[in-house]
């Protein structure tokens, strides 16, 4: 048996969620570990998911007027040091290049952990007039953060992402852009990955290093822990001042630009896995699945079966479905397991009797329900089924989140909730750093965001009892 | 005037070709210099060219069964050292990461100059049986080579590329793959970039570090210097032995795999510029141009002109053309210069009188020829014109290469040719390293390749006069 093809049992998610996750990413052939600590290899199936994410999101970016660019991967130390808050946030976790060839560099270079300073430096060179604004740039690349402990997709030394960096004539415009991009992320998570998200603003403590404010989409995993799935930052003119990005406005005065940045990464694939998958393997959201439907011939040695299966494949591809035909010499049962492990949304079983009856059997990956359909109309049946599955997966994830969302009015309630379970807890907060840190230190949970959709849980901060107007969502987070 | 928009004169290419090139890449807004020595910023227009190249080539890769993956950007020193010839070739020009955060690393990591060793290491983990073969992987990424002198696109510390790495059960199959990919590169260069290429094999001296043999597509620039536009390497089982990549074959014996790698980079954009562009700026090959046609309204303040221009834009986009409408308040003459600088293949001039007559004027970027066409059928006129331009540009480049291709029978002839001019020189070679090095040292030119299409220039080596059967093409190269 080939190493590449072995499907084995995976750890039960209710027994050891963390091991279950590791089993999935390996056995669904999404990743392999590399010889470099904390760096993963995205295998063809894993990378194909990222390519599909890129295609959808990049199209949205372009439709909203953004342009792609490519910046260097290195940042000279002096450039990184220009914005004080930014460097304080990132310095402890960057990789340093000190030698080129056999020579020691005069100034060391860090491998970009994020590229604000590179964009700022470039913008200061190319912007002069209000006519040059806005600049709406994005880049697809990898970045490096020297993490101590790593997990595939969720936290790795190097990861793939996109980082948008825009500059605008006014703060209002920049804030609008910040929220526009958060909406694009939210819509993408919900409409393509079937992951329900809470949109909101991060607290001062949790915001991005150097930002004026950070907005986030927060999602809840199957185990009740939270995952930050995308962030969008509003910078005001802080970086513009540090990097001297000025323009002559219509009124002929010099002004600083206002700035944003926003990003999603391969981390969201980790989220997708932990929201939908089960003890049989990955469950792929249909709209992003590299393979949406797999045809498995039954008794394929019998005359006409493989021919019909190939015919069906051609027909489904012509209907714009992403299709695979498994015509290897493995047993059907083995093929079923493999297809389940890879989370392929719809399996088509096609045997001699089905062909005789002009039928095929469709099996949904999420519910494992079987449906017999006519071959005549199978392409539309599959398309409808994929849509139904998307909606069902989204609803299921949303219900799971609702069931795991709690309310706390004081520290006792909060403590009791996290003693027994994991989930989102809504509570009022007085907006003091002291209370936020106390909760984090005592319970090991962090403020996920101040949701845009606020509720009034009570009049007072659940920590200090003083008057409070903000509702915060708390959770243990990945 | 905004910095972003200034169009100025560029250096005459016959006066100073090198400065002309630098002017073009800056003033057509393809790149900007960065604060990192030798690293360039690809601006939106430059990156859009790379995206179009990616789209075309990636589709070809996938049609021929290749899959994309993503490997780490770091290589531990011990891993890089595993293949002796490979490390000897690359060690002098790699960047070394020695610190992560505040800690010194136990083993330093190089930033990949190319990823053979990472792919080998991965393949040794995932391949067991002949059923796992072939593996046809590719990745799109950037690599770093610590060059002393750099030029945008042609030679930079960091550059974008794709690197294919495949493994096969037999050497024949691997060699077939090597040549298949060379054909894909050659077809791409000729059919999309309108760059005629010579296909051939590199000499032992010029082959890739660690390869059994290297194949290349060689092109000739406007100034008569050569550019290697893409390479494809056959490795035999050399790396497989160093990395222990074995499989159980059908006959139940353990065998080493046979391997290839192949790549093209943003360098090819430099070649495209130096083959086609002129003293008015960039000339974009139509099939790869980010903007294929630009609509410039004349007297756009007059009633109906902008409306008609917008209508035309919609119509052309619907015909799958890549279109821009310049509706800024600059003068038409200014807009013409900008469009010429950016090399946009077809300019559409549309004024009140044209509209009255149901016509528009098309201006070709390459010849500056004007053609009046009916608006009714303008989309087809433009499409036909783009095809004509592609063919004309290819023919022009091919004629230029033929005019600059010489023949030498001995060292005197060879010396005389390179004393006066630059170009390809064909001559016979005895296949000794001594003769190859002598020519390189004395004349500063290198062997570009042994073309697949051999000619018999004479019976003897042009250097030593001994019997010779191989024809080599020589040139000064970028």
Residue A85 lies in a domain: yes
pLDDT of residue A89: 84
Which chain B residues contact residue A74 at CB under 8 A?
36, 39, 95, 157-158
Which of A4, A88, A89, A115 should be substituted to probe chain B, the one whose Cβ sees the most B Cβ atoms within 10 Å?
Answer: A4
Interface of B with A in 70-99 (CB under 8 A): 70-76, 79, 91-99
A272 with A297, same domain: the answer is no
Q: Are residues B174 and B303 in the same domain?
A: no
> Which residue do the tokens 């190859």 mark?
B436
Res. B241: pLDDT tops 50: yes
- Would you say residue A421 lies in a domain? yes
Q: Does A68 touch chain B (CB under 8 A)?
A: yes
Q: Is B199 left (phi over 0), alpha (psi -120 to 50) or beta?
A: beta
Residues of B within 8 A of A44 (CB-CB) are 67-69, 137
Taking the CA of residue B76 and the nearest CA in chain A, the distance in Å comes to 7
First to last CA, chain B: 36
Is there a domain that residue B283 lies in?
A: no
Cβ <8 Å between B72 and A160: no
- The residue in chain A having the minimum alpha-carbon distance to the alpha carbon of residue B141 is A141
Cβ contact B95–A92 (<8 Å): no
Residues A230 and A103 in one domain: yes
Chosen for mutation from A69, A128, A152 (greatest number of chain B CBs closer than 10 Å) is A69
Distance CA B434, CA B412 (A): 18
Q: What is the pLDDT of residues B382-427, one digit of tens each?
A: 999 999 999 999 999 999 999 999 999 999 999 999 999 999 999 9
Helix (H, G, I), strand (E, B) or coil at A322: coil
For A69, which of B36, B44, B131 is closest by C-beta distance? B44
Interface of A with B in 357-376 (CB under 8 A): none
B75: which chain A residues are within 8 Å (Cβ-Cβ)?
A: 36
Convert the pLDDT of each residue in A9-40 to its tens digit.
899 999 999 999 999 999 999 999 998 899 99
- Looking only at the bridges linking them, the beta strands covering A405-407 and A424-429 are parallel
Asked if the Cβ–Cβ distance from B42 to A126 is below 8 Å, we say no
pLDDT (average), residues A204-217: 96
Percent of chain A residues topping a pLDDT of 70: 98
Strand partners, A139: A163
B340-363: pLDDT as tens digits:
999 999 999 999 999 999 999 999
Dihedral angle at the C-alpha atoms of B287, B290, B293, B297, nearest 10 degrees? 180
In angstroms, what separates the C-alpha of A362 from chain B's closest C-alpha? 27
Residues A409 and A382 occupy one common structural domain: no
**Arithmetic mean of pLDDT over chain B:** 96
Judgement on whether residues A467 and A337 belong to the same structural domain of the protein: no
Q: Using one digit for the tens of pLDDT, what is the confidence trace for A85-137?
A: 888 888 889 999 999 988 999 999 999 999 999 999 999 999 999 999 999 99
Q: What does the pLDDT read at residue B330?
A: 92
- The residue range of the domain holding A148 is 7-276
B238: CATH: 3.30.930.10
pLDDT band at A1 (very low <50, low <70, confident <90, very high): very low
* Judgement on whether residues A428 and A468 belong to the same structural domain of the protein: yes
Of A279, A291, A330, nearest to A5 (Cα)?
A: A330
pLDDT at A301: 87
Of A200, A196, A269, give the one whose Cα is nearest residue A474.
Answer: A200
- CB–CB of B34 and A121 under 8 A? yes
What mean pLDDT is reported for chain A? 96
pLDDT greater than 80 at residue A468: yes
Q: Does the beta-carbon distance from B68 to A128 stay under 8 Å?
A: no
Residue A314 counted as domain residue: yes
**Nearest CA-CA distance, residue A375 and chain B, Å:** 28
B 438-467 → A contacts, CB under 8 A: none
Report the residue from B79, B92, B102 with minimal CB separation from A102: B92
Of B36, B44, B72, which has the smallest distance from its Cβ to A72's Cβ? B36
Domain boundary among A332, A358, A386: A386
What residue ranges in A192-272 does DSSP mark as E strands? Answer: 198-201, 213-220, 226-236, 246-248, 254-256, 258-265
The Cβ of residue A107 has, within 10 Å, a number of other Cβ atoms equal to 11
Residue of B68, B97, B98 with shortest CB distance to A44: B68
How far, in Å, CA of A85 to CA of A236, rounded? 14
Same domain, B98 and B170: yes
- Model confidence at B85, in pLDDT bands (50, 70, 90)? confident
ipTM metric: 0.95
Instruction: Find the CATH number of the domain harbouring A437.
Output: 3.30.110.30
Q: Kindly tell me if the per-residue pLDDT of A6 is higher than 60.
A: no
- pLDDT tens digits, residue range B163-175? 999 999 999 999 9
In this predicted structure, what is the pLDDT of residue A8? Answer: 59
What is the CATH classification number for the domain harbouring B390?
Answer: 3.40.50.800
pLDDT per position as a tens digit, B433-463:
999 999 999 999 999 999 999 999 999 999 9
Residue count of chain B, please give it: 478
Nearest-CA distance B65 → chain A (Å):
12
For residue B8, name the pLDDT band (cuts at 50, 70, 90).
low
Statement to judge: residues A103 and A239 lie in one domain: yes
Residue A376: its pLDDT value, please? Answer: 96
Strand order across the B95-100 sheet: A74-76, A103-111, A95-100, B95-100, B103-111, B74-76
Q: Is there a single domain that holds both residue A320 and residue A235?
A: no
Tell whether B281 is covered by a domain: no
How would residue A300 be classed by pLDDT, with cut points 50, 70 and 90?
A: confident
Residues A349 and A430 in one domain: no
| Secondary structure (DSSP) of B351-388 | -HHHHHTTEEEEEETTT--EEEEEGGGHHHHHHHHHHH
CA dihedral (A217, A219, A225, A228) in degrees, to 10, reads: -30
Cβ atoms of residues B305 and B348 within 8 Å? no
Rg of chain B taking only CA atoms, in angstroms: 25
From B248, which residue of chain A is nearest by alpha-carbon distance? A2
Among the listed residues B178, B169, B176, B84, the one whose alpha carbon sits nearest the alpha carbon of residue B135: B169
Angle between helical axes of B44-63 and B267-276 (0-180°, round to 10):
110
Mean pLDDT on A58-85? 95
CA dist list (Å): B198 to A75, B174, B477 = 39, 22, 14
Q: Which of B79, B92, B146 sits opposite A35 (nearest CB)?
A: B79
Peptide bond before residue A171 is cis, with ω within 30 degrees of 0: no
Which chain B residues are within 8 Å of A34, Cβ to Cβ?
71-72, 118, 121-122
Average confidence (pLDDT) over A424-450: 97
**B24, B28, B34, B36 alpha-carbon torsion, rounded to 10°:** -40
The token duo for B73 is 């950007």
Write down the pTM of the prediction.
0.96
* CB-based contact B36 A74, cutoff 8 Å: yes
Instruction: Please list, in sequence order, all residues whose beta carbon lies within 8 angstroms of the beta carbon of residue A421, skipping any fewer than 6 positions away.
Output: A224, A404, A406
* End position of a domain, from candidates A241, A276, A311: A276
Question: Which residues make beta-bridge pairs with A230?
Answer: A217
List, as ranges, residues 26-55 from B with C-beta within 8 Å of A. Answer: 32, 34-36, 39-44, 47-48, 50-51
Note whether A89 and A166 are same-domain residues: yes
CB contact (8 A) between residue B68 and residue A47: yes
A392 inside domain: no
Q: Which of A214, A245, A276 is the last residue of a domain?
A: A276
Let me know if residue A431 belongs to a domain.
yes
CA distance A240 to A246: 7
| B383 in any annotated domain | yes
Q: Which of B42, B74, B98 sits opposite A69 (nearest CB)?
A: B42
Q: Are residues A41 and A91 in the same domain?
A: yes
Contacting residues of B for A49, CB less than 8 Å apart = none
CB-based contact B74 A3, cutoff 8 Å: no
Tokens 């079966």 belong to which residue?
A305
CB atoms under 10 Å from CB of A412, counted, come to 10
How many domains does chain B contain in total?
Answer: 3
């Amino acid at each position: 048996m080939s190493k590449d093809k072995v499907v084995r049992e995976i750890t039960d998610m209710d027994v050891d969620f963390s091991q279950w996750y590791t089993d999935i990413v390996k056995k669904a052939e999404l990743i392999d570990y590399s010889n470099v600590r904390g760096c993963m290899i995205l295998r063809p199936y894993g990378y194909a998911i990222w390519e599909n994410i890129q295609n959808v999101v990049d199209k949205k970016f372009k439709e909203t007027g953004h342009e792609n660019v490519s910046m260097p991967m290195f940042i000279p130390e002096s450039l990184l040091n220009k914005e004080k808050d930014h460097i304080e946030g990132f310095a402890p976790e960057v990789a340093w290049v000190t030698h080129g060839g056999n020579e020691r560099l005069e100034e060391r270079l860090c491998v970009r952990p994020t590229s604000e300073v590179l964009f700022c430096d470039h913008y200061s060179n190319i912007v002069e007039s209000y006519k040059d604004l806005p600049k709406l740039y994005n880049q697809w690349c990898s970045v490096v953060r020297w993490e101590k402990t790593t997990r595939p997709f969720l936290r790795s030394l190097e990861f793939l992402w996109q980082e948008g960096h825009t500059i605008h004539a006014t703060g209002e415009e920049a804030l609008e852009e910040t929220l526009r991009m958060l909406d694009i992320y939210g819509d993408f998570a919900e409409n393509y990955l079937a992951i329900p998200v809470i949109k909101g603003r991060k607290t001062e403590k949790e915001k991005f290093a150097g930002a004026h404010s950070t907005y986030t989409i927060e999602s809840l995993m199957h185990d009740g822990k939270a995952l930050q799935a995308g962030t969008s930052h509003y910078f005001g003119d802080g970086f513009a001042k540090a990097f001297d990005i000025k323009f002559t406005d219509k009124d002929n005065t010099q002004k600083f630009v206002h700035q944003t940045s926003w990003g999603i990464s391969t981390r969201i694939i980790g989220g997708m896995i932990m929201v939908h998958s089960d003890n049989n393997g990955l469950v792929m959201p249909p709209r992003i699945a590299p393979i949406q439907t797999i045809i498995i011939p039954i008794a394929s040695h019998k005359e006409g079966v493989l021919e019909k299966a190939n015919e069906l494949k051609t027909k489904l591809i012509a209907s714009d479905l992403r299709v695979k035909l498994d015509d290897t010499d493995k047993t059907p049962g083995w093929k079923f397991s493999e297809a389940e492990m890879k989370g392929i949304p719809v399996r088509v079983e096609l045997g001699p009797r089905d062909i005789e009856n002009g039928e095929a059997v469709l099996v949904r990956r999420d519910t494992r329900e079987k449906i017999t359909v006519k071959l005549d109309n199978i392409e539309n049946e599959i398309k409808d089924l994929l849509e139904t599955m998307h909606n069902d997966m989204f609803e299921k994830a949303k219900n799971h989140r609702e069931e795991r969302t709690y309310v706390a009015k004081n520290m006792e309630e909060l403590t009791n909730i996290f003693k027994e379970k994991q989930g989102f807890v809504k509570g009022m907060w007085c907006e003091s750093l002291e209370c936020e840190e106390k909760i984090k230190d005592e319970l090991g949970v962090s403020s996920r965001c101040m949701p845009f959709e606020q509720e009034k849980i009570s009049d007072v901060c659940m920590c200090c009892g003083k008057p409070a107007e903000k509702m915060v969502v708390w959770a243990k987070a990945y």
